[in-house]
Amino acid sequence: MDKERQERVHMREAIYNNFIKDERWRYLTDGLQVTLEVTFFSVLIGIVIGFLVAVSPLSYDKTGKLKLLNAICKVYLTVIRGTPVVIQLMIFYYCIFVSRVFAGVFVGVIAFGLNSAAYVARSSVPVSCRSRGTDGGRSKPWF
């Protein structure tokens, strides 16, 4: 019984020392705020770009124009969906945005936004197939 009480006291001290002392709990709330900001702006970018990437082949299918745009969309989807998001983050941070002018949060928003755009475009394919007159299945995918 005495050992159990000592463990509880030790646990209280550990919680106090790790979170409450020196207002360390603010690190958690600040991290949560950054996480929510990155998520919100990444979703916005993903929806807008993903919708454009999903709808762009409709123009190519109907008119035969914008062949280059259709090819760019196919390559974009293949590359982004084929690589892990951690690798994309490293490429964006260390290769593309090397100049250190951009903050890490900005790079994360762009990387996650472009990644989610590829998945939004892919999940929008049944909608674009229905608008092309197919049954909405995957019998005639554009990529």
Per-residue pLDDT at 131: 53
CB atoms within 10 A of CB 112: 21
pTM (2 decimals)? 0.73
Confidence band of 23 (pLDDT split at 50, 70, 90): confident
pLDDT in tens, 4-13: 888 888 888 8
Averaged pLDDT for residues 28-52: 94
23 is written with which tokens? 């207002």
Per-residue pLDDT at 132: 52
69 is written with which tokens? 């745009």
Torsion of CA 116, 119, 120, 125, to 10 degrees: 170
Distance, CA of 78 to CA of 6 (rounded, Å):
57
Is a pLDDT exceeding 80 seen at residue 138? Answer: no
pLDDT in tens, 59-118: 777 777 888 888 898 899 999 999 999 999 999 988 888 767 778 889 999 999 999 999
Q: Which residue would you say has higher pLDDT here, 92 or 126?
A: 92
Confidence band of 140 (pLDDT split at 50, 70, 90): low
DSSP 17: I
Residue type at 119 in one-letter notation: Y
Look over the chain and give the mean of its residue pLDDT values, rounded to a whole number. 83
